[in-house]
Chain A
Amino acid sequence: MSASIPPAADVYPHRHLLGIEGLQPQDILMLLDRAEAAVEISRQVEKKKSVLRGRTQINLFFEASTRTQSSFEIAGKRLGADVMNMSVSSSSVKKGETLIDTAATLNAMHPDIIVVRHHAAGAVHLLAQKVGCSVINAGDGAHEHPTQALLDALTIRRHKGKIARLTVTICGDILHSRVARSNIILLNALGARVKVVAPATLLPSGIEQMGVEVCRDMRQGLDGADIVMMLRLQRERMSGAFIPSVREYFRYYGLDREKLSAAKPDALVMHPGPMNRGVEIDPEIADGPQSLIREQVEMGVAVRMAVLEALAAHLPTR
């Protein structure tokens, strides 16, 4: 665990945000600090800034998303950008156009920032190589979802005052989760202790070398936890393929009051959404006093404003 985290950087050093991997701790801290300011802006009556005035932001979502897409849209608009949403159902992708074709087509429209979500890991990196503008990864397959990890970190820091030396337990479908991967990298970079709990069928190979402690059961995993991050279990994985049934999953891995009692008394509960109440989390906990789930959504807008603003510094000015 790195004890000394350097101070926040002044300038974000990259043209894109493709993942948490590759960011230095000071870059992460800079984004979090900027996001703090964005929280204040979002809470004002007048929420508009002009950093991105005249700029075009395209939200290119190959995978359906409600909260991430609207969060990026609001963030862009609050910074003055012209935001265009393009989702797979209304695009030419369904007609057989390749990712590269789509990138070239969009590039010809001179966007300044493209926000991309894609079901295939690595697709956002590929697209970033083919366009002239800045690219933000809004989730690529089971690889990374950097703005989710940033908003989680912001939420944690606002409540606990720090990230370093906190114990964060991530529970659930680690195998298929980009949220887990981004969080594991970020939390390690900022000096937190990360534990994971999941049925072995939902853990990726080599997990014990990914900077986490692997725990067998929820009691062991939640023991001493400051933060409990629950992950969503996709419906198609619930009935026999990776776990036998919803009732068995909830019995052993669903977060309820009894299991949460193993964590610290002031432990806080997070979930990237959308939740399956009664599958991975008891409604009583999801909607209870220890839950930060609503607040995560608010921090999502702030973090995305911070990222857009940071990338704006790299946009050509003439």
Chain B
Amino acid sequence: MATPATPLVLTNARVIDPARDLDAPGAVIVEDGVIRAAGPEAINQGAPDGARVLDVAGAVVAPGLIDMGVTVGEPGGEHRETLASASQAAAAGGVTTMVTSPQTEPVIDDPALVDFILRRARDTACVRVHPMAALTKGLHGTEMSEMGLLQEAGAVAFANGHRSVTHSGIMRRLLTYARDFDALVVHHTEDPDLAGDGVLNEGLIASWKGLPASPREAEIIMMERDLRLAALTRGRYHAQLISCADSTRAMARAKNDGLDVTCGISINHLTLNENDIGPYRTFFKMSPPLRSEEERQAMVSSLADGTIDVITSNHDPQDVETKRHPFAEAADGAIGLETLLSAGLRLVHSGDLSLTRLLAAMTCNPARRLGLASGRLAAGAPADLVVFDPDRPWILEKSEIHSRSKNTPFEGARFSGKVLHTIVAGREVSP
């Protein structure tokens, strides 16, 4: 970021800015790393001196994607993923902001570690990185972390990784304490006692496979508990990954009651179901487990009606060491930064979702929830952009994956829609 970016003008664009419900032919003018104008009003405004003019020939220009659920291996698991390699994957997928999980080794539960992530990101990553810090010390779910000091260090939210805080009294105090700092509590909703050793969605498929299964109630009970506590404390709450229709019903009710609550979903649970697991394919093993096709369809509807706010990749790099095991012993998690948008476009092509709604869940919605300036194409906003052709066909080849880990459930998948350019602060970071 040493020299200022040259001004940039994207012409002949289909400009989509979900924050203002805009989908129209137009242009985008970028100068000094920020947007000067975007949309129909930017046509024929002339280019700033020395600007690079890029004719995108009808492609979509939208705010760069904000991925609210990225697990990176740095620190502690750099062989799986570094901030640098994750950012390359992000750039390839049109993701201009990664919001990272505190579940690293060590856990991000100290202000000095937040500072470490931010400095490493500044020095090595090509997209923006906003760390979430641990909600509880060591993610043990017992002692609250230093939310004030962590927030001052730069943490944008507080999460407990893939572990739920099971003690309701502690969760209550966390939500209460966080409120003093206007901090957002991001929670993985799974009752570990009810989920038990379950590795699949409870039902016929798991039963035939002979695998221990986790009932949907493991998620719903935790979700309903959390929403009760959010009502009690008036805290700011975000359910990180939901996967069941009943969870969305509880969420819709809570929103209707005026609570400050939101929820997210992984792209996997919108585009895959338990049938995709096939012959014990561990790249499809994740938490929460992939659900039935009926649940998946209900999730898509809840996204369309606005009950679900945010789509994440839930990017979670795992290597051979952790994945090449019998299904029940393999680690959870799939990578997803590079395929987030293309997989999401499947829902648009199937007619289930408007493109604007899809993009809102990946741009302005997470930005609003986290208080980020990006995620919209407003004059003065950071010039973080994705340019994509929503129809261009491509096949995901393992050899072309940028992520250091290759555990994608979409290997060999055919997609319609490909990222052409990714721009962060006015600079092209991909291709």
Contacts and interface: CB of A to CB of B under 8 A. Distances in A.
Interface of A: 199-201, 216, 239-245, 247-248, 251-252
A121 B248 CA distance: 43
B148 A240 contact: no
Give the 9 A-B CB pairs with smallest separation, nearest first: A240-B143, A244-B146, A248-B146, A200-B176, A244-B144, A201-B177, A201-B173, A201-B176, A200-B180
A252 B179 contact: no
Q: How large is the interface on B (under 10, 10 to 19, 20 to 34, 35 or more residues)?
A: 10 to 19
Contacts of B145: 244
A239 B144 CA distance: 8
Contacts of B146: 244-245, 247-248
Q: Which of A240, A243, A245 has the most CB of B within 10 A?
A: A240
B173 A242 contact: yes
B417 to A, nearest CB: 44
19 contacts: A200-B176, A201-B173, A201-B177, A216-B180, A239-B143, A240-B136, A240-B143, A241-B173, A243-B144, A244-B143, A244-B145, A244-B148, A244-B177, A247-B146, A248-B146, A248-B148, A248-B149, A251-B148, A251-B149
Interface string B146-180: 11110000000000000000000000010011011
Dominant secondary structure at the B interface: helix
B302 interface: no
B146 to A, nearest CB: 4
Contacts of B144: 240-241, 243-244
Contacts of A201: 173, 176-177
A200 B148 contact: no
Interface of B: 136-137, 142-149, 173, 176-177, 179-180, 233
A240 B143 CA distance: 4
A240 B177 contact: no
A201 B174 CA distance: 8
A199 B178 CA distance: 9
Contact of B137 (A199, A240, A242, A251): A240
Contacts of A251: 148-149
A136 B176 CA distance: 36
A92 B148 CA distance: 47
B149 A247 contact: yes
A172 to B, nearest CB: 14
A199 B143 contact: no
Nearest to B109: A244
Nearest to A216: B180
A211 B212 CA distance: 56
B169 to A, nearest CB: 9
B182 to A, nearest CB: 10
Contacts of A244: 137, 143-148, 177
Nearest to A245: B146
A241 B143 contact: yes
A165 to B, nearest CB: 29
Contacts of B143: 239-241, 244
A129 to B, nearest CB: 33
A240 B180 CA distance: 16
Contact of A240 (B142, B149, B179, B233): B142
B149 A243 contact: no
A253 to B, nearest CB: 10
Contacts of A199: 177, 180
A244 B173 CA distance: 11
Nearest to B152: A251
A248 B173 CA distance: 16
B148 A252 contact: yes
A243 B147 CA distance: 9
Given A200-B179, A239-B143, A248-B148, 20 more contacts: A200-B180, A201-B173, A216-B180, A240-B142, A240-B144, A241-B143, A242-B173, A244-B137, A244-B144, A244-B146, A244-B147, A244-B148, A244-B177, A245-B146, A247-B146, A247-B149, A248-B146, A248-B147, A251-B148, A252-B148
